[in-house]
């Protein structure tokens, strides 16, 4: 991996704990990072301290007036250059993401492609920050709305997508005129350092302050500090529901803004009329892609009783063909979990499911041997379950999927909607009425609803996010940009008199 780090100019003097010259370095405890792929060290870095945090915030606040004063298309041009820089580094950065996080190389490269795509989207958006014009009830008055940047945007991202979710937020925030402070997961700091270095080079080439994009490596304490900081206008946080509730409470107390993308417990409904040739690969990728560590991973299969046995047979056969190992080997379908703590949670969840009446149909084991020496590799697992098992309503970040039968579509939708989370959902059916019912107001209660595609793999053109304990926020495409700006309603009087609204008369 040193070759990858060197290509990204992350040679040891850059990321060693003995240096602290960059504004994302700290004076706190040393963080040592090992790859879940083989257990080998990636490097070490100091966590940020109180004084470094103050310094980063000062740099961000200093950069904001200059950045927001640039016309939005000029800000878009900087983001365009960043996208081109990512294109040049796609292979190296994709490998780093794969090795540091453990996802397959194809998924690592795909994550970098997501960054490139959102940069392209943001460039176009920089010329489309539209406001409405409304008709005033008063003669010779013009009423309209316009949008202004918020200021400093804080981004807290999770380990499972070490770079893409940051880019979703940062690219949009930048073209809207904001500056950003990014706290990546302390489990995957080097992918974040690489991105920061790439964007810093773009800023330097354009003689712009580095404070437009800031990186801080810290633990949950720093995340709490960001949430409480009144100088951060918006916090966009990705992570567990527990973490999101804490952020929402803290930000809400100071009447700040937040975007929350939290837990998912995503279901696929397979109807009597489903095409299993479509459904099986979508289910398998949704359940085992990123080793089940996506917020959109498929965790529940709700299968019509007439399809249950055939689908189960096909799934067990497909699982038996999966190759598990080094994610940098393109022949492998699944890599490791992020760390041994995740493995422990995997084992605990399986034990709990069995205690509650579940039956393992495939998997359920931690893999051993030289290939799996890091101790982070597990077998993807299928568990036959019932809807009243409490564990089914719990999200476990691991390749575990629960399968259960249903009799009619109304029952299936009720089962799908019965969990606290509401991120992604899917139905496989060739029945138009079932598809439309699933998409109607009596259907899926999730932020994402798909027909004949799986729960995982959202495109950047659509707003991404969910309901209920998923947080209710939206990132990426559509009109999600509005969350990164403040709306201002303006009325301009070009008459010679002063008429009041609602016909009110006021005489002096």
Question: Tell me, what's the pLDDT at 6?
Answer: 57
So which residues are the catalytic ones?
A: 261
pLDDT higher than threshold 80 for residue 106: yes
- Give the distance, in angstroms, between the CA of residue 490 and the centroid of all CA atoms in the same chain: 35
For residue range 22-54, list pLDDT tens digits in order.
434 567 788 899 999 999 998 888 899 888 999
| SS3 state at 104 | coil
Question: Tell me, what's the pLDDT at 24?
Answer: 45
Q: What are phi and psi of 37, to 5 degrees?
A: -70, -50
The domains located in the chain, with CATH, are 2-262+471-488 (3.40.605.10), 266-459 (3.40.309.10)
Distances from the Cα of 463 to the Cα of 127, 147, 259, 469, 474, angstroms: 19, 19, 12, 17, 6
Give the integer Cα–Cα distance in Å for 5 and 346.
31
Instruction: List alpha helices for 206-293, DSSP H.
Output: 220-228, 241-253, 276-288
Mean pLDDT throughout 339-359?
Answer: 98
For residue range 212-259, list pLDDT tens digits in order.
999 999 999 999 999 999 999 999 999 999 999 999 999 999 999 999
For the chain, state the CA radius of gyration. 24
For residue range 432-490, list pLDDT tens digits in order.
999 999 999 999 999 999 999 999 988 999 999 999 999 999 999 999 999 999 999 99
The helix (run of H) or strand (run of E) holding residue 213 is: strand 213-215
Question: Tell me, what's the pLDDT at 331?
Answer: 95
pLDDT higher than threshold 90 for residue 68: yes
Task: Give me the residue label for tokens 């404070």.
Answer: 211
pLDDT higher than threshold 60 for residue 19: no
pLDDT higher than threshold 70 for residue 18: no
Task: Give me the residue label for tokens 């990186």.
Answer: 215
Per-state percent for the chain, helix, strand, coil, to nearest 5: 40, 20, 40
Average pLDDT along the chain: 94
For residue range 108-137, list pLDDT tens digits in order.
999 999 999 999 999 999 999 999 999 999
436 or 10, higher pLDDT: 436
| SS3 state at 465 | coil
């Amino acid at each position: 991996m040193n070759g990858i780090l060197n290509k990204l100019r992350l040679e040891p003097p850059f990321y060693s704990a003995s240096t602290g010259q960059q504004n994302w370095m700290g004076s706190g405890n040393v963080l040592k990072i090992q790859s879940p792929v083989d257990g080998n060290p990636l490097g070490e870095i100091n966590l940020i301290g109180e004084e470094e945090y103050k310094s980063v915030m000062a740099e961000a606040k200093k950069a904001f007036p200059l950045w927001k004063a640039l016309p939005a298309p000029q800000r878009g041009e900087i983001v365009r250059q960043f996208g081109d820089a990512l294109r040049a580094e796609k292979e190296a950065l994709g490998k780093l993401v794969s090795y540091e996080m453990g996802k397959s190389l194809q998924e690592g490269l795909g994550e970098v492609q997501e960054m490139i795509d959102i940069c392209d989207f943001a460039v176009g958006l920089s010329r489309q920050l539209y406001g409405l014009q409304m008709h005033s009830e008063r003669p010779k008055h013009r009423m309209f709305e316009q949008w202004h940047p918020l200021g400093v945007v804080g981004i807290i991202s999770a380990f499972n997508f070490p770079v893409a979710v940051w880019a979703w937020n940062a690219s949009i925030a930048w073209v809207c005129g904001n500056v950003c402070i990014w706290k990546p997961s302390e489990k995957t700091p080097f992918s974040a350092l690489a991105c920061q270095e790439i964007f810093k080079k773009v800023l330097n080439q354009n003689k712009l302050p580095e404070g437009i994009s800031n990186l801080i490596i810290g633990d949950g304490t720093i995340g709490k500090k960001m949430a409480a900081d009144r100088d951060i206008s918006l916090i966009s946080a990705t992570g567990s529901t527990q973490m999101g509730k804490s952020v929402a409470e803290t930000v809400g107390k100071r009447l700040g803004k937040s975007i929350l993308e939290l837990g998912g417990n995503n279901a696929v409904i397979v109807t009597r009329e489903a095409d299993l040739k479509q459904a099986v690969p979508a289910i398998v990728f949704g359940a085992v892609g990123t080793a089940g560590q996506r917020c959109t991973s498929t965790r529940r299969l709700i299968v019509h009783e007439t399809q249950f046995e055939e689908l189960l047979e096909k799934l067990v056969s497909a699982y038996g063909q999966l190759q598990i190992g080094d994610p940098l080997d393109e022949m492998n379908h699944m890599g490791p979990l992020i760390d041994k703590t995740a493995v422990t949670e995997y084992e605990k969840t399986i034990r709990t499911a069995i205690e509650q009446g579940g039956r393992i149909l495939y998997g359920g084991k931690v893999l051993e041997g030289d290939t799996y020496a890091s101790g982070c590799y597990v077998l993807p697992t299928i568990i036959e379950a019932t809807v009243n098992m409490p564990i089914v309503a719990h999200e476990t970040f691991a390749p575990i999927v629960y399968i259960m039968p249903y009799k009619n579509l109304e029952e299936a939708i009720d089962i799908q909607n019965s969990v606290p989370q509401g991120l992604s959902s899917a139905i496989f059916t060739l029945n138009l009425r079932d598809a439309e019912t699933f998409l109607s107001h009596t259907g899926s209660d999730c932020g994402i609803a798909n027909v004949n595609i799986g729960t995982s793999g959202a495109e950047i053109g659509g707003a991404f996010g969910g309901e209920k304990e998923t947080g209710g926020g939206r990132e990426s495409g559509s009109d999600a940009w509005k969350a990164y700006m403040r709306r201002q309603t303006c009325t301009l009087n070009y008459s010679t008199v002063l008429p009041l609204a609602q016909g009110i008369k006021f005489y002096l």
